[in-house]
Amino acid sequence: MTIIISEEELRQTTVDAFRKSGLSKEIAADIADVLVHANLRGVDSHGVMRVEHYIKRIKEGGINPNANPSTVQSSASTLIMDGDNGFGHYISKQAMTEAINLAKMSGMSAIAVKNSSHCGALSYFVEQAASANLIGIAMSHTDKIVVPFGGSEPFFGTNPIAFGFPAQSEEHVILDFATSNVALGKILNAREYGDAIPDTWGVDAEGKPTTNPENVSFLSPFGGPKGYGLAMVVEIFSALLTGAAFGPHVSKMYGDYNKNRELGHFFMAIDPSIFTGLDSFTSRLDQMIQELHQVTPAEGAERVLVPGEIETQTALKRKKEGIPLPDQVWASLKG
């Protein structure tokens, strides 16, 4: 059964759930903000359905609930951040805030994060940058679940990457995607709702495609060798460049609940004004978006959309009408 909850009530209930588990008001609010952002955009797999899991990790010692991230400035435009094994949402929001501040001063910035944990939807952090009139780039890795192209066992995680671009009168362009065919969270969401899935989403323990989300053991990279190659690039930025563990050496998200994830993330911010000028960039992006909307649609399509447009439309609708949640997720949140 699905129920409808307002954005405000969902955010406050999520904060309350984390506060009961010993988190400070600031950390709980930041995590809730990232999670509700995902629910608003229709990316429910990265929303509040994850709260129960996070609280389990707190109880078993796998997350430092009141971490104090620290930074070392490695150059005029770069920082290395140690997340103190805290919540990735809180750590990543701080990291992108630092990236924005540095980019405002230096034109470009890069932040390498280590000793973090799952950070939720990367779209939140690149939207931070876009809202500050900067281009944002974010990437992260996770434990092995994706079979590399040509392989029969997993090596990399879903390894998402995201980009955010500020527009002038149009909505920001936000592109956020996993390098697997789908993010694991979509499989978990299908399990929550009891839905069947396309047979291209995942394979069972024997490597055979399945439409039953309960039987999914591993995922496949999108686009075969292209997705696999991009997953490796994300791993290099998120793990090798940050000093985090890589591939099969990363502790499990679902399992190893008493172990710190020690994940790495990588963030960049770029000020368009140092190249072509902010007004020129944003107005030309508006023009690009408008011309894409004017492209003759294919049969069955209403019009051509730009990355993130569906999610933006969903967020506007859910802000007005409320956010649908499985009743068991809501019951778990309320404790």
Q: Which residues contact 311 (CB under 8 A, 6 or more apart)?
A: 41, 42, 43, 123, 174
What are the helix and strand counts (H, E) for the chain? 10, 11
- Per the listing, tokens 């805290």 go with 86
- Given the structure tokens 């434990």, which residue do they identify? 143
List the structure tokens of 326.
């499985």
CA–CA distance, 174 with 226 (Å, rounded to integer): 21
Query: Could you tell me which residues are beta bridge partners of residue 5?
Result: 323
CA distance 276 to 83: 35
Run of H or E including 81: strand 78-82
Whether 118 is catalytic is yes
Beta-carbon count within 10 A of 323 CB: 24
CA distance 291 to 116: 41
Pairwise CA distance, residues 127 & 130, whole Å: 5
Do the Cβ atoms of 110 and 218 come closer than 8 Å? no
Choosing from 46, 89, 118, 172, the catalytic residue is 118
Where in the sequence numbering do the catalytic residues fall? 118
